[in-house]
Amino acid sequence: MSRYWILGCLLVASQGWAKGLSPYLPLQISSEIESQIEKVMALTPGAPLTRPYKAVDVMRRNKLIATRFPELHRSVDAYLARYKDTFSLTHASASVSVSDDGSAALPNQRSIKRDASYQLSASGVVYISPFAYVAAGAVYADGENTLFYNTHVAFGYEYAQIEAGYRDHWFSPMQDSALLTSTNAKPSVSITVSNATPITDWDIRYELFYSKLDDTTGISQQGELFTGKPNLAGLHLSVSPAEAWTIGLSRTVKFAGAKSNLSIGEAFKDLFTPSGEDESPILSPQSLASDQKTAISTKVNLPFAFPVSFYGEVAFEHSPELNDQEANDKALAFGVYFPMVTNNLSLRYEFTRVDELFYQSDFYSAGYTNEGQSLGHWVSDVFLGQEQVQKTSHSLNMNWKFAQDQIIDVTFTAADIDTNSSAQQAYKELNVRYSFATHYGFWGVDLDVGEDRLGEKFKRISAFYRW
């Protein structure tokens, strides 16, 4: 109870300092501007460890690079201007695609399949007052239902911002994917509390959310299997003990969904006190179903003559101090990012390893998923049916602005599993995106080629417009 009192006092006290709140920038929806924003975040101190980024945070950081990187500053500042109007369309895009792979989902694309022949998306924001706004965003792909990704009502203060609706939660400094929560699975409705402005000179950030997932079969409780809608609760806390260094703790609890449900209060207690134990001697461990995960993340930005950003996270199925923790239920990821190899070229490398049991659950036969898609890293979906093996992934990205108005972005991704089976091949994918900038947005072509885990080749080509 003391933890709840402390959090409550923090939120109430913060109201005295507060000024206003902030909408969110795109996440896995507008590649060109997102790559620019990532440069800004790597070139400034005290970087956040979660996404989507709040617009006000990026505005503050963009001012810090105005003298040293004026071209990048002007580009990002021009984009951020659309968030300053009382009523504003903040994003619009359209694409048409041809693909020969109809079975797999696109990584980090909210469960949208590769064979979607067209895709439309748009988002906007309406400010009611400095302390309230309404955001709306949706993606529609051929063969899919409309997916809401940034549609919510927000109210509160800059130190206590509350949102209800569809809101992404990416608890990780990684770009290729996240271990605990990402945009890989279908979005779900949530209630979130966070701070738009870091607290104190230590840049303290927090985020707390509760969401309702979709129907899941195979929920094991009291020795029986049920169908129901599990819940997902998450907590993130981070601090910057030094100007260049940020460290954070993230927790998620997937819980209940069927008979003898674990209450929301009990689930949030588990977020703050990760014991993995049932405090009731009357009920068996299967009567109160929950799946807990913990991640410790960090990021170091060194914005010197040759800027570089180092970051990573290590995750556990339970808290790291539990005595009964299995040796094969962990995951780790790390990356290095060079935002300014030259003024027009950036490079990034990331590695991820997921142990055999990290995404498995004693209570949910589908594991750590929503409608069959991993809530965390996409590598779990690539090797579906190979749950009991260790998985690794590598990602190498180059972003090159080779002309004033033209960008080439190249990403090579490889994933493999720890097995000697000749039937299983390494997953390989090469993505090449060409973007041409105009006063009215970006036009371009996106090409995907690769080979799946069974050795079957696939390809996908898209033509797009993004504003």
pLDDT at 288: 54
Q: What is the DSSP string of 274-302?
A: -------SSS-TTTS-EEEEEEEEEEEEE
The CATH class given to the 2-466 domain equals mainly beta
Q: How many angstroms separate the CA atoms of 245 and 266, rounded?
A: 33
41-58 residues labelled b (16+ CB within 10 A) or e (exposed): bbbbbbbbbbbbbbbbbb
Which of the two residues, 15 and 296, has the higher pLDDT score?
A: 296
Report the alpha-carbon distance of residue 60 to residue 461 in Å, rounded: 37
- Distance in angstroms (rounded) separating the CA atoms of residues 309 and 323: 34
Distance CA 169, CA 254 (A): 14
Higher pLDDT among residues 457 and 273, named by residue: 457
Type of residue numbered 54:
K
Q: Is the pLDDT of residue 7 over 50?
A: no
Tokens at residue 371, please?
Answer: 């409608």
Contacts of 130 (CB under 8 A, 6+ apart): 19, 20, 21
Instruction: List, for residues 322-347, the tens digit of each pLDDT value.
Output: 445 456 789 999 999 999 999 999 99
pLDDT at 430 over 60: yes
Q: 411 versus 280: which is more confidently predicted?
A: 411
Residues 6+ apart with CB under 8 A from 391: 353, 354, 379, 380, 382, 383, 415, 416, 417, 418
* pLDDT cut 70: percent of the chain above it: 87
d(CA 210, CA 193): 9
Residue 86's pLDDT band, with cuts at 50, 70 and 90, is very high
Where residue 256 falls (left for φ over 0; alpha for ψ -120 to 50; beta otherwise) is left
Contacts for 13 with CB less than 8 Å, ≥ 6 apart: none
* The token pair that represents 65 in the structure block: 């690079």
Do 96 and 117 contact (CB within 8 A), yes or no? yes
Per-residue pLDDT at 265: 75
Q: What would the pLDDT profile of 119-149 be if each residue is shown by its tens digit?
A: 999 999 999 998 999 999 999 998 788 999 9
pTM above 0.75, yes or no: yes
Q: Would the pLDDT of 12 be above 50?
A: no
| 34: number of Cβ within 10 Å | 17
> Who has greater pLDDT, 5 or 156?
156
Domain ranges of the chain: 2-466
Q: Which residue has the tokens 């303290």?
A: 204
pLDDT at position 275 is 55
Q: Which token pair is 197?
A: 């402005």
- Cα(257)–Cα(254) distance, integer angstroms: 9
Strand runs labelled E in 418-456: 427-438, 441-451
333 DSSP 8-state letter: E
Helical H segments across 15-82, by residue range = 31-42, 55-64, 70-80
Evaluate the omega torsion of the peptide bond into residue 107 and state whether it is cis, within 30 degrees of 0. no
